[in-house]
Amino acid sequence: MTFGEYFERHPPWDPDLWIEIGPFNPCGADACRHLAMKVAIVGNSHLAALKLAVRHNGFSQERLDINFWGLPGPDFDSITYGAGVLQTPRKSFVLHISDGLYESLPVRDFDAIVLHGVALNVSDYLLSLRKASEHLRCYSSALLEDGLRSCIEKVPSWSLVRSLSAEFGGRLLMSAMPLSSEDGTKFKDIPVADDELPRLNDHIGTVLGKIGVEYVPQPPDTICEGKYTKRDYSIGSVRLAAKLCYKHPDDDYIHMNEQYGSLVLRAVGTRLSAPRCV
Amino acid sequence: MNSPIDSQSSIQSASTPVPVDHGRADIGPIWKPKSALERFHKVATFGSCFARHLGSALRERGYRWFDAEPAPDIFSPEIKAKYNFGVFSARTGEISTIAALRQWISWAIGTAAPADETWHEGSRFFDPFRSAIEPDGFAGPDELFASRDSALRALRKVVEQADYFVVTLSSTTAWIHSSKGHVYSNYPGTFARNIGSGDYCLKTFSLAEIGADMTWLIKTISGMNPKARFLFTVSAIPTTAAACESPPIVETPRSKDILRSAARIAADKHALADYFPSYEIITGVESGILRSPLLDDARPNPGAGFAIDHFFNNLNPNAAGTKVVIEPPMAGDSGGPDASDAKEFWWRVLKLRNDLRGIF
């Protein structure tokens, strides 16, 4: 697309559609981009934290050429996969999220796809499991895996994950949406033991591994009380828009900031630097 | 002076023929509940056939079935069913003898130490006391015992908090450990071939033994939970060949007779106990149509449904001549106030308002 075509399609007087000038280059030099592993991070509103981390150099990984693509909220479910391409009717928005690079995402151009913040609501799983029992050890591993699979499969975006896992030849990773902030009251009066979240993450990893998806759990450094994201990571979170400047309200306990994003990207980078584990 | 027959006339006149309609029968009111069972009562169900169907029937009709070991709400209904959640009030699995129920309760309240025996098939471990609770068994003994501990905690909660215990008995025989006396849920070897020492024997419980276990059950539970009431029923499912010394065609009527006698004696002897004749309803009216096929009891069948309909039709306390009135629990007296306590409170307020309207 030429600049003229782009200008015509996305006139600059719509401030919501403004983008930073030029796509982000994590290597700092175009010359090394073709040598790096090309990664597409596809996600919903939680993508903003990661995007901001990259934009503000909170994460730098020379071996990774990171590209973002996605839609916030229920709009994410409009994304479909076919003929090697992720598509959505909301082309202009995803074009801005990808810093002007992709209206639709040709997944075959990437070495790895990371689905971030979609389908996996670990906070809800943990709460539901703990409300019904005193400890996760009360559930057999077979029950946990069957139950979690039944729950994950109900999410609309799961069909997208299944399609990608069936056809995409590269590495497919999923990182969960963050646990709610410790400022919230989601787990009021429900203590969670130290070994419960790791146990839950192990089972989620097993469920995903069976369809060839690698799971990247929430970075342990960001977690407190075994059930919440530390307050420090929820302050100053922003909405996923072309311009990452619209902050979430103070009582938003589910979106995280760029410091959180940089830790997630580091976890993704660590996973990608290791051999495929499924 | 009224004759004995006259005194029964409000239930069913002995001279009145039972009208039959399309194979089913309008058998009228045949049971007078001793205690009112209201929608706010916590009703626990254990045992087999009828108790299993009653749990879901109570929920469907807006009664308060006591689910002390619920499945996580994120799990699909198929998974909940596959892993036997929501079948009985705790995940004990089917309990066919009163001796096995006594064993479960004594483990739950700590008067006996739970057995540490496991059976295994390949790499999977099975709980000898609820062999079918997990379709593929457990990954190891630790997992098995942790899961059973959860069921025992739930059962203790039921013992302490339930208003009604509905217990359906299905057998007078069980496989037991010859020296330790543990009562098993199934024929050893049904689910797992590696069953340890093989020190097992089939025991047939006598009427006296069954009666003693029923008395223990009533006294033990009511000692911990004075508001508890008991309703015994007998399953119409035939005895299986693996659980009887005689052929099932001989053993089944003998076994059911003993169970019905024991339940009736308990109901006569204890003010807190009652007997609901589900067996008689299912088998006595149109046995060919209403009796449940042996292997088709996992879903509500016409016979069980028919008995359950009669159970609810006879529950109306006004028609039932309530002898024992159970005081509704106050909010917070059973493990802290929750949504159901609030719902119960408003139900009582509305009932009181309606009663007052009737008076004035």
Q: What would the two tokens of residue B264 be?
A: 């009736």
Element (H, E) at A275: none
User: Among the listed ranges A197-206, B135-144, B253-262, B292-301, which one has the minimum average pLDDT value?
Assistant: B292-301
User: Among the listed ranges A76-85, B67-76, B323-332, B344-353, which one has the minimum average pLDDT value?
Assistant: B323-332
Q: Do A143 and B134 touch (CB under 8 A)?
A: yes
What's the average model confidence in pLDDT over B323-336?
A: 40
What's the average model confidence in pLDDT over B110-125?
A: 94
Contact by Cβ (8 Å): B314, B33: yes
Element (H, E) at B82: helix B77-82
- For residue B79, what is the nearest residue in chain A, using CA coordinates? A147
Q: Do B139 and A124 touch (CB under 8 A)?
A: no
pLDDT of residue B243: 58
Q: Which residues in chain A touch residue B74, judged by CB atoms under 8 angstroms apart?
A: 124-125, 128-129, 147-148, 151
Question: What is the nearest CA distance from B311 to chain A, expressed in angstroms?
Answer: 30
Q: Which residues in chain B touch residue A190, judged by CB atoms under 8 angstroms apart?
A: none
Give chain B's mean pLDDT: 80
Number of CB atoms found within 10 A of residue A243's CB: 14
Per-residue pLDDT tens digits for A207-260: 999 999 999 999 999 999 999 999 999 999 999 988 888 999 989 999 999 999
- Rg of chain A (C-alpha set): 19
Q: Please report whether residue B121 resides in a domain.
A: yes
| A132, A141, A147 ranked by CB distance to B79: nearest | A147
pLDDT of residue B308: 86
- For residue A143, what is the nearest residue in chain B, using CA coordinates? B83
Q: Please report whether residue B11 resides in a domain.
A: no
How many Å apart are CA A244 and CA A191, to the nearest integer?
A: 35
Q: Please report whether residue B342 resides in a domain.
A: no
Checking if the pLDDT of B3 tops 70, the result is no
What's the average model confidence in pLDDT over B171-198?
A: 82
Instruction: Write the burial class of residue B273 (CB in 10 Å: 0-12 exposed, 13-18 middle, 19+ buried).
Output: buried
Element (H, E) at B180: none
pLDDT of residue B18: 42
Checking if the pLDDT of B169 tops 70, the result is yes
How many Å apart are CA B232 and CA B41, to the nearest integer?
A: 17
pLDDT of residue A47: 96
Q: Please report whether residue B63 resides in a domain.
A: yes
Name the nearest CA neighbour of B277 among B237, B324, B314, B234: B234
Q: Please report whether residue B269 resides in a domain.
A: yes
Q: What would the two tokens of residue B222 be?
A: 């009511």
Q: What would the two tokens of residue A223 be?
A: 């977690």
Per-residue pLDDT tens digits for B73-85: 999 999 999 999 9
Q: Do B76 and A133 touch (CB under 8 A)?
A: no
Q: Do B134 and A147 touch (CB under 8 A)?
A: no
pLDDT of residue B266: 97
Calculate the CA A55 to chain-centre distance.
16
Q: Please report whether residue B270 resides in a domain.
A: yes
| A135, A142, A151 ranked by CB distance to B74: nearest | A151
User: Among the listed ranges B12-21, B158-167, B259-268, which one has the minimum average pLDDT value?
Assistant: B12-21
Q: Do A128 and B72 touch (CB under 8 A)?
A: yes
pLDDT of residue A9: 54
Model pTM score: 0.81
Residue B291 lies in domain: 27-328
Per-residue pLDDT tens digits for B214-236: 999 999 999 999 999 999 999 88
Q: Which domains, and CATH codes, for chain A?
A: 3-273 (3.40.50)
Q: Which residues in chain B touch residue A135, judged by CB atoms under 8 angstroms apart?
A: 146
- For residue A153, what is the nearest residue in chain B, using CA coordinates? B76
Checking if the pLDDT of B212 tops 70, the result is yes
The structure tokens 């006698």 sit at: B261
- Tell me which residues of chain A have a pLDDT lower than 70: 1-35, 58, 60-62, 278
Q: How many domains does chain B have?
A: 1
pLDDT band at B252 (very low <50, low <70, confident <90, very high): confident
How many Å apart are CA A43 and CA A21, to the nearest integer?
A: 22
How many Å apart are CA B165 and CA B222, to the nearest integer?
A: 11
3-state helix, strand, coil in chain A (%, to 5): 40, 15, 45
| B71, B76, B139 ranked by CB distance to A141: nearest | B139
